[in-house]
Structure 1
Amino acid sequence: MRNVVTLMAMSVGIALSPSVFAADAVTHPGKAPLERQTLPARDGFASMGAGTTGGAYASPSRVYDVSTRAELKAAFDAAGDEPKIIRVHGTLLGNANDSGKPLSCEDYAQGTGYTLERYLATYDPAVWGWDTEPTGGPESARVQAAENQRRTMLIQVPSNTTIIGATPDASLVGLSLRIDGERNVIIRNLNHLAVSDCFPQWDPTDGSAGNWNSEYDMVQIINGSSNIWIDHNYYSDEPDFDDLSPSYFGRPFQQHDGSVDITYGSDLVTVSYNRFENRDKLMLIGSTDSPAAGDPGKLRVTIHHNEFINVGQRAPRLRWGQADVYNNHFVRNDDARVSFGYVFGVGYDSHIWAEANAFTFSPSVKQERIIKHWKGQAITTKDNVINRRKVDLLAAYNAQAPADLQLVTDTSWQPTLRTRIHPAQAIPGLLKRRAGPVMTLGKPGKRFR
C-alpha cells in the first residue's frame, strides 16, 4: 500500500503535508504505475526531443492527492517546475473559493456594477449600432466581473507535471487548465466538464450578424509550450449544453470555448484516446493567419484514437502546422445537441494528414461537409471510411467546391511517429472500449492499451 500526500486547506493559505511514497521505477507504460507512465517512444509529435515524461520522476515529496481547486493550485505552486504528480479525487470544482464553497456568476459580478439586463439594454444593436465593439461603463463592468472569474477558475499548469484522475470518475468541473510557455506536461484520465464563461462579450462586428464570444478552453496550450500529452480524458459541456442557452440579438449566448486549443507557437503535442462529446468547438491549432504570432514551423500535433461524438467543428481546425490525424472515430447522430459545421478545417498554410479514420454518420450529414476550406490549399486523406465504406474525402469535398476553393493532395510531408495503425473499420469497436477515462490508480485495467 502506497502512502500519499495530503493537501490540507488551512484558514490562512494551504499547508502541504507530504508523506513517504515508495516510487516505482519508470519503465514501459504497461509496467509502471499509471501516474508514473511516460509517453511511449514514437507515439506522435510529443515523443520528439527529450520526449514527454511529465512528473514521472517526481520525488516522494512531490506526489499530491487533491480534491479541491485550492489544493490543486497549492500543489502546483509548491512544486514549481520540479517533477510532480497530481492525483485528482472525486469532483473538483473550478468555481469555488479557497474554502470549497461554490461560486456563482452573481458572486463574481458582485460589486462590479455588471448585470446582463443593463448590458443588453446598452449594446442592443438597435441602440448601439453594428459598427463598433462595446465600450463604456457596462463593458468595463463586464471586464471586471470576468476577471474575477478568471482569477478563480483558470489554473496555470507548470512544467514537468502529470495531472491524472485517481479513478475514471475524477472530474474537473468548471475549471480551465492553462499551459503557458511550459514544457513536459501529461494530462490523463480526467473528466473535463461544464467550463462556462459567465460573462461573454457581444461583438456586433464579428461576422455579418454579430456574435457572443467567450473565454476559457478546457485545456489551453499557448506561448511556445511543448511536449504535451493529452490522453484518456473526457470532454463535455454537461450539464450546461449549448442547446439550453438563450439567444440575444438573434445570436446564441455562447458561454463555451475550445476543448484542447494549441496556439501561439506551441509545439509537439500528442492527443490520444480521449472522448469528446456534445461540444461545439474541439481543437483550434494556430492563432491567426499572421506569422507574427510565432506559429510558422511549430504546431506539430498528433491526434489519434480519439472519439468525437456529436461535435460541431474544429476536429481539428489548423493553421500553419502539421496535424497527423489517424485512427479516430467521428460519430454524428440526428439527436446531437450541437449543430454540425465540419470536421477538418484546412486553414492558412496548414498540413493535415487524415488517415484510417472512421465516420459513423446519419444520412443527414453529407460527406462533402467533412472538410472545410479556411484559406488553406492542401490536405491528405487516405483510407478513411464512412459507415464502414471507404470514401475519398478530398474527392468528395472537391466535387462540390467552387473552383477558387478547391484543395489538392498535400505532398510536403508524411507522418512517421506512430506506434500502430489499425484498420479504419476496426476503430469504432476498439474505441468504444478504450477511449476516455478507463483507469484506476494502482490497478492498470485490461482496457488500458
Structure 2
Amino acid sequence: MRNVVTLMAMSIGVALTPVAFAASPVMHPGKVPLERQTLPARDGFASMGAGTTGGALAAPSRVYDVTTRAQMKAAFDEAGDEPKIIRVHGTLLGDSDDSGNPLSCADYARGTGYTLESYLATYDPAVWGWDTEPSGGPENARVQAAENQRQTMLLFVPSNTTIIGATPEASLIGLSLRIDGQRNVIVRNLNHLAVSDCFPQWDPTDGSAGNWNSEYDMVQIINGSSNIWIDHNYYSDEPDFDDLLPSYFGRPFQQHDGSVDITYGSDLVTISYNRFENRDKLMLIGSTDSPAAGDPGKLRVTIHHNEFVNVGQRAPRLRWGQADVYNNHFIRNDDARVSFGYVFGVGYDSHIWAEANAFTFSPSVKQERIIKHWKGQAITAKDNVINRRKVDLLEAYNAQAPANLQLVTDTSWQPTLRTRVHPAQAIPALLKRNVGPVMTLGKPGNRPH
C-alpha cells in the first residue's frame, strides 16, 4: 500500500501536514486506477499526436493529496513538468491564504486605496463621460487590488498533470486554473464553482452602453497549450449567480468570465461528460478575428456527451478552428437564472460540426436562435433533435436571417476522431446520471467512456 505523499515545508515554504487519506487499493487485473487513466484512443482531437496521458506515469513521490489551494500550488512547484497526479479532497478555496483561511474582496483591497464607492463616483458616465476608458488614481488602485487577488486564486497548471477529484464532492471554489503554454493535462471529476472577480473594470467604450468586464475563466487553455482532456466536471456560478449581482451605470456588475476558454493558438482538446449549469459564458474558442494571435490551423476541439443546463451563450463560440460537437444535451427551462443568447457561435473562418445533439427547450426559446452569426460563413448541423423532433438547425437559422448573414453547410472537413455516436433521441436518458463528477477513487468500475 502506497503512503500518501506530503510536501516538506522546508522545500516549499508552506506548512503542510499529512492527511490520512486511503491509498488507492490494488485494482482487479486489467483495471487502471482512476487517477492513472488516460484519454482513450480516437476520443476526439486530444487523442492526436502522442495522445493525452496527463500524470499517468507519475512516480509514487509525485502523487499528491491536497486539501488547500496552497498545497495544490506547492505540488505544481515541486513536480514541475514531471508526470504528477493531484488528488483533490474536500473543498479547495481559491480565495484563501496559505492555511486555507478564506480571503474576502476587502482583504485584497486592503492597503491599495481601492473602494467601490470611490470608483463609482469617479467613473460615473455623468462625470467621466463615455468616450475614454478609466485612468488615474481609482483605476490604478483597482488594478493593484485585482493583482492581489490574481496572485492568490489563479493557479498555473504545468505539463504532464492529472488533477482529479477523489470523490464526487471534491470542489474548487473561487479557483481559476490556467493551462498556459503547456501540454498533456487532464482535469477530471471536479466541481468548479463561483470563480468571481472582485474588481471588474468599467469600460464606457465597450458597446453602446458600456460594460463591466471581469477576468478569470474557471479553466483557461491559452498560448499554444495542447493535448488537454476536460472530463466529468461540473461548472456553475453557485451560489453567486448572475441574477444576484448588482447593476451600476445601468449595466450588470459582471464578476464572472468563461467556463472553459481555449485561445491563442491552443490545440487538440477533448471536452467530455461535463455538466454546465446556470452560467452565461461557456466556451470561447479563438482569441480574435486577427490571425496575429496564432489561431489559424489550431483550435481543434471535440465537445461530446456534455450536458448544458440553462446556460446563456458560447457552447461554443468558435473562430478559426474546428469544433466537433456531438451527442450533447442542451436543456433550457423557463426558470433559468441567465438569459438565453445562442448555442453555436459561428465566428470568423470557423468550422463547427454539430451532429446528433439533443435540445430540450421550453417553448419560449425559438429554434432559429440556436445558431448565431459572428462573421462566419458555414456550419454543419445534422441529425439534431429539439424535444425529440428532428430539426434542421441551419435551415431554421437561415429562414429568419437577412441575406447578408446567411450561412451554408460546411463541406471543408468531416470529423473522424470519435468514439461511438449515439442517436440524438437517446442522449437525454444516456447522460442523465453520467455527466459531471460521478466517480470515486479506488472504486471498481471507473472507466473512461
The reply to whether TM is greater than 0.5 is yes
Counterpart in the other structure of 1:420 = 420
Counterpart in the other structure of 1:434 = 434
Secondary structure of the structure 2 residue equivalent to 1:107: helix
Secondary structure of the structure 1 residue equivalent to 2:55: coil
Counterpart in the other structure of 1:397 = 397
Counterpart in the other structure of 2:207 = 207
Equivalent AA in structure 2 for residue 233 of structure 1:
N
Cα RMSD over matched residues? Answer: 2.0
Distance in 1 (alpha carbons) for counterparts of 2:444 and 2:71: 26
CA shift for structure 1 position 99? 1.6
Distance in 1 (alpha carbons) for counterparts of 2:203 and 2:190: 34
Secondary structure of the structure 1 residue equivalent to 2:147: helix
Alpha-carbon displacement from aligned partner over 1:250-279 (angstroms, at most 9, x marks no partner):
000000000000000000000000000000
Secondary structure of the structure 2 residue equivalent to 1:352: strand
Q: Does 1:347 align with 2:347?
A: yes
Distance in 2 (alpha carbons) for counterparts of 1:365 and 1:27: 50
Counterpart in the other structure of 1:78 = 78
Distance in 2 (alpha carbons) for counterparts of 1:274 and 1:14: 33
Counterpart in the other structure of 1:166 = 166
CA shift for structure 1 position 101? 1.3
Distance in 1 (alpha carbons) for counterparts of 2:61 and 2:337: 44
CA shift for structure 1 position 100? 1.4
Equivalent AA in structure 1 for residue 320 of structure 2:
W
Shift of the 3–318 alpha-carbon distance from structure 1 to 2, 3 Å rule, reads same
1:155-194 aligned at under 5 Å gives the runs 155-194=155-194
1:320-399 aligned at under 5 Å gives the runs 320-399=320-399
Equivalent AA in structure 1 for residue 285 of structure 2:
I
Equivalent AA in structure 1 for residue 223 of structure 2:
N
1:290-305 aligned at under 5 Å gives the runs 290-305=290-305
Shift of the 196–403 alpha-carbon distance from structure 1 to 2, 3 Å rule, reads same
Checking the alignment, whether the CA contact within 8 Å between 2:39 and 2:448 is kept in structure 1 is no
Checking the alignment, whether the CA contact within 8 Å between 2:34 and 2:447 is kept in structure 1 is no
The share of aligned pairs that are identical, in percent, is 89
Distance in 2 (alpha carbons) for counterparts of 1:51 and 1:142: 42
| Structure 1 portions without partners, runs of 5+ | none
CA shift for structure 1 position 433? 1.2
Distance in 2 (alpha carbons) for counterparts of 1:364 and 1:84: 47
Equivalent AA in structure 1 for residue 323 of structure 2:
A
Counterpart in the other structure of 2:256 = 256
Distance in 2 (alpha carbons) for counterparts of 1:207 and 1:301: 29
Distance in 2 (alpha carbons) for counterparts of 1:334 and 1:177: 32
Counterpart in the other structure of 1:147 = 147
Shift of the 291–102 alpha-carbon distance from structure 1 to 2, 3 Å rule, reads same
Checking the alignment, whether the CA contact within 8 Å between 1:114 and 1:145 is kept in structure 2 is yes
Equivalent AA in structure 2 for residue 228 of structure 1:
I
| Structure 2 portions without partners, runs of 5+ | none
Counterpart in the other structure of 2:136 = 136
Distance in 2 (alpha carbons) for counterparts of 1:177 and 1:282: 15
Distance in 2 (alpha carbons) for counterparts of 1:242 and 1:185: 30
Shift of the 61–247 alpha-carbon distance from structure 1 to 2, 3 Å rule, reads same
Distance in 2 (alpha carbons) for counterparts of 1:17 and 1:300: 42
Distance in 2 (alpha carbons) for counterparts of 1:142 and 1:160: 35
Secondary structure of the structure 1 residue equivalent to 2:418: coil
Equivalent AA in structure 2 for residue 80 of structure 1:
G
Question: How many residues end up aligned between the 2 structures?
Answer: 447
Distance in 1 (alpha carbons) for counterparts of 2:29 and 2:282: 32
Distance in 2 (alpha carbons) for counterparts of 1:43 and 1:356: 16
Equivalent AA in structure 2 for residue 291 of structure 1:
P
Distance in 1 (alpha carbons) for counterparts of 2:92 and 2:346: 36
CA shift for structure 1 position 194? 0.4
CA shift for structure 1 position 6? 3.0
Equivalent AA in structure 2 for residue 202 of structure 1:
W
After the TM superposition, which parts of structure 1 deviate over 4 Å for at least 4 consecutive aligned residues?
A: 7-12, 15-28, 445-448
Secondary structure of the structure 1 residue equivalent to 2:436: coil
Secondary structure of the structure 2 residue equivalent to 1:6: coil
Equivalent AA in structure 2 for residue 47 of structure 1:
S
Checking the alignment, whether the CA contact within 8 Å between 1:192 and 1:235 is kept in structure 2 is yes
CA shift for structure 1 position 3? 2.8
Alpha-carbon displacement from aligned partner over 1:39-87 (angstroms, at most 9, x marks no partner):
0000000000000000000001000000001100000000000000000
Checking the alignment, whether the CA contact within 8 Å between 2:213 and 2:254 is kept in structure 1 is yes
Shift of the 22–446 alpha-carbon distance from structure 1 to 2, 3 Å rule, reads closer
Distance in 1 (alpha carbons) for counterparts of 2:86 and 2:330: 31
Distance in 1 (alpha carbons) for counterparts of 2:381 and 2:168: 34
Alpha-carbon displacement from aligned partner over 1:161-205 (angstroms, at most 9, x marks no partner):
000000000000000000000000000000000000000000000
Secondary structure of the structure 2 residue equivalent to 1:163: strand
CA shift for structure 1 position 444? 3.7
Alpha-carbon displacement from aligned partner over 1:341-366 (angstroms, at most 9, x marks no partner):
00000000000000000000000000
Alpha-carbon displacement from aligned partner over 1:8-47 (angstroms, at most 9, x marks no partner):
768981367899978989997xx21000000000000000
Checking the alignment, whether the CA contact within 8 Å between 2:233 and 2:436 is kept in structure 1 is yes
Secondary structure of the structure 1 residue equivalent to 2:162: strand
Q: Does 1:277 align with 2:271?
A: no
Counterpart in the other structure of 2:55 = 55
Distance in 2 (alpha carbons) for counterparts of 1:354 and 1:68: 39
CA shift for structure 1 position 4? 2.0
Counterpart in the other structure of 1:118 = 118
Equivalent AA in structure 1 for residue 112 of structure 2:
T
Checking the alignment, whether the CA contact within 8 Å between 2:40 and 2:448 is kept in structure 1 is no
Q: TM-score normalised to the size of structure 1?
A: 0.96
Checking the alignment, whether the CA contact within 8 Å between 2:27 and 2:444 is kept in structure 1 is no
